[in-house]
Amino acid sequence: MPSSYPPPGLSRPAAPPTFREKINRFWLRVTEGLELNQLWSQFEKDARASYRLYSKDLDNRPEDLTHGRRVLHVARQFFWAVLEKLSPARRLLLLIALVLLIFNPEFGWHDQAGNMHVVSFEYRLVGGLVLLLVLILEVGDRVVMKRDLEIAREIQGWLLPNHPPAIPGFEVAFQTRPANTVAGDYYDMFFRPGRSPEDQRVLLAVADVAGKSIPAAMLMATFQASLRTLAVTHSSLRELITSVNRYACTNSQGGLRFTTAFLAELDPATRTLTYINAGHNQPMLCRKSGMLERLDIGGLPIGITADAQYESGCVALGSGDWLVIFTDGVVEAVNTLDEEYGEQRLLAIVASGANATPTEMMQRILTGLDVFVGNTPQHDDVTCLLLKVT
């Protein structure tokens, strides 16, 4: 009886991948499964962000130059803006690579018989390898920095609440989108102990630290720690923000590192909201009747001066009312035409979805913002907190 192959119980070895399958695997590994339009959109965003970074160092003042000379002038400045972002050693390597790529000499001589001999050196290959070396060094730095930033982002995530507290008679949603890996925006919502067990209040906080990335994130963590620590005391909202401001002034570099903030204390039993606006974007209180109130009572941003005085406002909330608290990254987002998103578009979305839940409303706001912005890089952190009275 002829033997069977493969033997019973053993599977036939897999056929080696074809050349087409290898190409597909390579393409998927390189693109991470993104479509061409997604890749182009990503490249366009990266290009815009890089140009904005380098164009900060450009000087377009010489108006007396001709168009051609002005182009050369801007190109030269752009070249130096790129070069100065590198370390001195890598600048030298980049210059050597560019010279080798451009300079490709040939040497010739005649022998005794009159024949011409030409010797050329492949400097372009060497220049390309040097350029690749600079790229590898820069990518290595980027990977290390990205790993550190991801750790910082994870730590920052611990400081922000994942889910809003359950408050009878209220629904809440909040979300933030950092412009960089870490953010300078802060939001929080937690129960604050009252003078009696029945007197618990809910503290709402939305803040925006001046600046971006690591410095702003560090100050955000400092603000969060001071607010959480001081909030356990039996103090009024004015006393709380005054104490936070005094502490912030000790490390604000003379007011340069300030923080705009909106702090509010919600009494769920009476449905009253006591608030202080410390130089922040004015939150919108959209009444069920269609009326709009702006919560603007307060004082200076936190961290400017230690003796700043703050006033508090108080509003009564009713069923169907919406409270929309946001940072300037929402309303100041721009599209490809350099138009700002603005508060009117935000108001229109809230008005058109008054019967939605805060989670649904948050999704509508962020989707509308994405459609408006398009491929324009996000230039500031986006944070929004929504509270609906049921």
Per the CB < 8 A criterion, the answer to whether 103 and 123 are in contact is yes
pLDDT in tens, 66-81: 777 777 877 888 888 8
For 281, counting Cβ atoms within 10 Å of its Cβ (0-12 exposed, 13-18 middle, 19+ buried), the class is: buried
Looking at residue 57, its pLDDT comes to 66
pLDDT in tens, 178-189: 887 778 899 999
Q: What backbone torsions phi and psi does residue 128 show, to the nearest 5 degrees?
A: -65, -40
Per the CB < 8 A criterion, the answer to whether 217 and 255 are in contact is no
For the chain, residues classed under CATH 3.60.40.10 are: 161-389
pLDDT in tens, 95-143: 888 888 887 766 666 666 767 766 667 788 888 898 899 889 888 888 8
156 pLDDT exceeds 70? Answer: yes
Looking at residue 65, its pLDDT comes to 65
Looking at residue 105, its pLDDT comes to 67
CA 219 to CA 194: how far, in whole Å? 28
Looking at residue 186, its pLDDT comes to 92
Q: How confident is the model at residue 36 (pLDDT cuts 50, 70, 90)?
A: confident
What's 161-389's CATH class? alpha beta
Per the CB < 8 A criterion, the answer to whether 362 and 187 are in contact is no
